[in-house]
Amino acid sequence: MSQSNDHVFSDAERHALYRTIYSRRDVRGQFTSEPIDEDLLARILMAAHHAPSVGFMQPWSFIVVRAEETKRKVHALFEKAHAEATLMFEGEKRETYRNLKLQGILEAPINLCITCDKDRAGPVVLGRTHIPEMDLYSTVCAVQNLWLAARSEGLGMGWVSILDQQRLKEVLAIPENVQPVAYLCLGHVSHFNDKPELETSGWRKRLPAHELTHFEAFGESADDTYATTLLDRLQAEQARIEKGDF
């Protein structure tokens, strides 16, 4: 094997990784009551903790929510925010939004809140000197790690973003200098949808990847062989994935 291939995973390992990515779904309504084993939860939390972070600051913390009382308080926050959000859409869009299932707070056996401590690594952080949001971006990487690890274990996860962040901080006693980034519902599921629910409901379609790919500068195209071949390959890959060939 050439040196350039020394670090390539096996075909089976790569297939499992891509399958995890392409079959990951935002789960809202398919949760079962089956509890999550502590060893399983520990594995996926550890995967989240091994996310990349700028300056190795590791700004995240994980709040595990199991109590029905806490879930109901968070659910009440969602209901209020959801009613407010409904009024922001007009016409058919409003009715479609109203009928979407957008959370599984009470159904999921575990809720997780992932937070970002902007002070964890001190006032000056390597890599955050010119982009102060890098701590938040790092925390989102932890969310993605958790999501993919959960999917590989057969767990569903849903991100609830329709919440008043300040009131959520009050419910979960989050310190003022710590920012909630993701409130997540986690659990075993009856099934995973073949496609994202917002796609099948007609809310939005997946955008063509080749139309989002630019060369040398934003909005710029290229007509050389490499660029043309890459764009063709992107279209072919997207068509393959949309057929469920992963």
pLDDT tens digits for range 69-84: 999 999 999 999 999 9
Amino acid at 187: G
- At 66, list the tokens: 């199991």
The domain limits of the chain are 25-204, 206-246
Of the ranges 5-9, 51-55, 119-123, which one carries the lowest mean pLDDT score?
5-9
What percent of the chain shows pLDDT beyond 90? 96
Task: Report the pLDDT value the prediction gives residue 3, as an integer from 0 to 100.
Answer: 53
pLDDT in tens, 151-173: 999 999 999 999 999 999 999 99
Q: Is 144 exposed, middle or buried (0-12, 13-18, 19+ CB in 10 A)?
A: middle
| Nearest alpha carbon to residue 189 among 107, 113, 75, 74 | 107
CA 187 to chain centre: 15
Q: Is pLDDT above 80 for 4?
A: no
CA separation for the pair 98, 221 (Å, rounded)? 40
Percent helix / strand / coil, the chain, rounded to 5: 45, 15, 40
Backbone angles phi, psi at 121, to 5 degrees: -100, 15
**Sequence-ordered list of residues with C-beta below 8 angstroms from that of 102, at least 6 positions apart, any chain:** 28, 78, 82, 160, 162
Q: Give the pair of three-digit tokens for residue 179.
A: 């920012």
pTM of the predicted model as reported, rounded to 2 decimal places:
0.94
pLDDT, residue 46, reads 98
- Which alpha helices (DSSP H) does 114-207 contain, by range? 134-152, 165-171, 197-200
CATH 3.30.1300.10 fits 25-204, yes or no: no
CA 138 to chain centre: 13
